[in-house]
């Protein structure tokens, strides 16, 4: 039942038809129109997001931050925003390679740290991951990928306690909507500055704040095996995904309106299915109601309660 | 009459009455030092905005020490303060009170409670059922709280009721950072600027728009408070996002000048409006 655990390593299951290797193509005009509407005012957005980190973190009496630096663009943007919010000396990027990771990922992560001036820490996750899978040698990529994401999470939260730092999230709106992440793994954080930016907006804002070009321009990848890329797994580019998601979610186009615009039905339905099936990842665990006042149902307080 | 009007662009702490009372008192001292005559705080300035289940925990009744303490701050300058009001029969309201000379003069209960999208007000508070102009030492004024100002009908009633000063305490969340229109900036701020400008110009009244700053659960309040002249021109505008005491001189003689230049109030036809509204009401009732 891979769909119940969809993450970066199982999504291709939804697109494992003969044309899987070919990316879904879309009329250029549809992409261009959406991209133009998605273009953000960089100074404004970066200011709001750095302000968000500073305010929400300072309110709880913390001034330090920690985040996982993968060498990818999402964690790079979060790192730059965190450095801007609290000063780079208060930000630690933890680089957590696995023995099969592409060495370029670590090099890119170091380049991000160097340019943003944040501190780094290297923790090789191979011993703890391999020790576990020695007992389960038949585990597939889905299980291995999830395990790695969750090992990294436990390391970040240990650093959170060690440094007195809050964990900064690195999940963007596209992957949150598609469920393209590991629940309680890379999706775990205290504050997420980039969760309302689509992937293509992450790229745009990353350029704006000065993320190194080698990071902005490389193909996004979960880096589990050589040559793996997100877009091959998804079956379409992030421009295509964002054009559909933006019209569907932000602009609330109906299915008929999307098809009328020229979006192919398989694409629209595939994306709609992913969004719906991953809803559980965007909510707290369900609580069975018994009392008159149940947490999150009729006991409702902001997280910033009294702050 | 010339006087100094001010918007206290502050970031209250969510559900922390003690901290916010101190914040308000501090702003009053600052404003007094600058010689301010009228100081307008944002919506729910005493409590913070996304209160949810905290509403009954921070609610205040009119004849209480809590209100008298705030009234006491208005010995030297007039004040508008937003708070959660509890009625005698335990209804809760998103209210703004006007204090002058140490007394509570007027309370406006927010009429239009946004309950859609990111807003959930009507789940937690009840809806006010009137808008009234009231007399102050600066002339006749009216208060509309945030979403109220998105209903031109309320602003129209306030003007017909004699308000030459429109006071708009707000807690407007930042949203819309697209560059698509070529301008950049916040989409919501552009809409607000056109609303306040329209009321000032169409009703030839002064407008004080006091919008808060700060973040609550990831939501930013953008500030950008404004004080506008009866010509529609902004007299002063606060920065986006930072705490600021926005002070400017207001000259009530400018209302007269604006009404001479543009006598819309003279020409306003109350009977026509009422006749047409009654017709529409009858047709809706079938």
Question: How much is the pTM?
Answer: 0.94
Nearest CA in chain A to B218: A52
Report CA-CA distances (Å) from A46 to A59, A72, A114, B137, B168.
20, 18, 20, 44, 29
B61-111 per-position pLDDT tens digit: 999 999 999 999 999 999 999 999 999 999 999 999 999 999 999 999 999
Q: Given B174, B185, B216, which is nearest A304 (Cβ)?
A: B216
Is the Cβ–Cβ distance between A209 and A44 less than 8 Å? Answer: no
Give CA–CA dist A115/A275, Å, rounded.
35
Is the Cβ–Cβ distance between B221 and B174 less than 8 Å? Answer: yes
Are A307 and B186 a contacting pair at CB < 8 A? no
Residues of B in contact with A169 (CB under 8 A): none
- Domains, chain A, in order of start with CATH, read 11-282 (3.40.50.620)
Are A307 and B215 a contacting pair at CB < 8 A? no
- Per-residue tokens: A84: 């801007």
Is the Cβ–Cβ distance between B190 and B172 less than 8 Å? Answer: no
Residues of B in contact with A304 (CB under 8 A): 14, 50, 215-217
Interface of A with B in 32-91 (CB under 8 A): 36-41, 43-45, 47-48, 51-52, 55-56
Residues of A in contact with B53 (CB under 8 A): 299-301
H or E element that contains B244: strand B244-251
Are A37 and B180 a contacting pair at CB < 8 A? yes
Q: How confident is the model at residue A12 (pLDDT cuts 50, 70, 90)?
A: very low
Distance of CA B130 to the CA centre of its chain: 15
Are A48 and B220 a contacting pair at CB < 8 A? yes
Q: How many CB pairs under 8 A join A and B?
A: 67
pLDDT in tens, chain B (286 residues): 999 999 999 999 999 999 999 999 999 999 999 999 999 999 999 999 999 999 999 999 999 999 999 999 999 999 999 999 999 999 999 999 999 999 999 999 999 999 999 999 999 999 999 999 999 999 999 999 999 999 999 999 999 999 999 999 999 999 999 987 667 799 999 999 999 999 999 999 999 999 999 999 999 999 999 999 999 999 999 999 999 999 999 999 999 999 999 999 999 999 999 999 999 999 999 7
Give CA–CA dist A104/A120, Å, rounded.
16
- Predicted pLDDT at A7: 53
- Predicted pLDDT at A23: 76
Residues of A in contact with B184 (CB under 8 A): 41, 43-44
Bridge-based pairing state of the strands B226-228 and B219-222: unpaired
Provide the shortest C-alpha distance from residue B2 to chain A (in Å): 37
Provide the shortest C-alpha distance from residue A296 to chain B (in Å): 11
Give CA–CA dist A17/B286, Å, rounded.
58
Rg over alpha carbons for chain B, rounded to the nearest Å, is 18
Provide the shortest C-alpha distance from residue A45 to chain B (in Å): 6
A207–B contact, CB cutoff 8 A: no
């Amino acid at each position: 039942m891979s769909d119940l655990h969809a993450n970066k390593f199982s999504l291709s299951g939804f697109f494992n038809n003969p044309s899987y290797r070919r990316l879904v193509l879309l009329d250029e005009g549809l992409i261009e129109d959406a991209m133009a509407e998605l273009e953000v005012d960089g100074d404004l957005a970066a200011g709001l997001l750095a302000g968000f980190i500073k305010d929400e973190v300072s309110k709880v009496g913390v001034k330090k931050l920690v985040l996982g630096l993968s060498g990818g663009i999402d964690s790079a943007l979060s790192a730059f925003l965190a450095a801007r919010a609290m000063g780079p000396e208060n930000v630690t990027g933890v680089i957590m390679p696995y023995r099969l990771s592409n060495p370029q990922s670590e090099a890119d992560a170091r380049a991000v740290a160097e340019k943003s001036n944040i501190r780094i820490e290297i923790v090789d996750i191979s011993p703890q991951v391999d020790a576990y899978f020695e007992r389960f040698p038949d585990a597939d990529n889905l299980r291995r990928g999830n395990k790695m994401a969750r090992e990294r999470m436990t390391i970040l939260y240990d650093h959170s306690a060690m440094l007195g730092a809050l964990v900064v999230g690195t999940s963007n709106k596209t992957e949150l909507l598609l469920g393209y992440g590991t629940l309680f793994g890379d999706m775990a954080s205290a504050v997420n500055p980039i969760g309302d930016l689509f992937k293509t907006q992450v790229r745009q804002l990353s350029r704006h704040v000065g993320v190194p070009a080698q990071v902005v321009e490389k193909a996004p990848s979960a880096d589990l095996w050589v040559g793996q890329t997100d877009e091959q797994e998804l079956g379409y580019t992030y421009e295509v995904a964002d054009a559909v998601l933006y019209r569907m979610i932000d602009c609330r186009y109906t299915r008929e309106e999307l098809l009328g615009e020229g979006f192919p039905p398989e694409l629209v339905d595939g994306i709609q299915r992913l969004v719906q099936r991953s809803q559980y990842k965007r909510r707290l665990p369900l609580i069975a109601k018994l009392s008159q006042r149940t947490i999150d149902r009729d006991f409702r307080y902001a997280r910033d309660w009294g702050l | 009459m010339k006087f100094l009007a001010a918007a206290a662009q502050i970031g209250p702490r969510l559900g922390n009455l003690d901290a916010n009372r101190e914040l308000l008192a501090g702003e009053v001292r600052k404003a007094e030092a600058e010689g301010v005559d009228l100081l307008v705080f944002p919506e729910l300035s005493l409590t913070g905005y996304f209160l949810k289940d905290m509403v009954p925990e921070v609610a205040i009744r009119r004849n209480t020490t809590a209100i008298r303490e705030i009234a006491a701050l208005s010995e030297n300058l007039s004040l508008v303060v937003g708070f959660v009001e509890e009625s005698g029969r335990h209804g809760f309201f998103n209210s703004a009170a006007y204090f002058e000379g140490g007394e509570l003069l007027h309370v406006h209960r927010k009429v239009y409670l946004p309950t859609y999208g990111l807003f959930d007000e009507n789940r937690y508070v009840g809806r006010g059922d009137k808008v009234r102009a009231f007399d102050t030492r600066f002339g006749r004024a009216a208060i509309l709280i945030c979403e109220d100002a998105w209903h031109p009908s309320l602003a129209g009633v306030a003007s017909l009721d004699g308000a030459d000063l429109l006071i708009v305490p707000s807690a407007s969340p930042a949203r819309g950072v697209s560059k698509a229109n070529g301008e950049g900036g916040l989409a919501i701020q552009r809409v607000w600027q056109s609303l306040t400008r329209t009321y000032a110009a169409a009703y030839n009244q002064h407008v004080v728009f006091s919008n808060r700053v700060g973040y609550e659960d990831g939501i930013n309040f953008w500030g950008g408070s404004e004080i506008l002249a009866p010509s529609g021109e902004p007299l002063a505008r606060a920065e986006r996002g930072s705490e600021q005491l926005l002070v400017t001189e207001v000259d009530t003689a400018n209302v007269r000048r604006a009404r001479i230049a543009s006598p819309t109030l003279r020409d306003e036809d109350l009977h026509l409006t009422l006749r047409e509204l009654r017709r529409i009401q009858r047709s809706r009732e079938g």
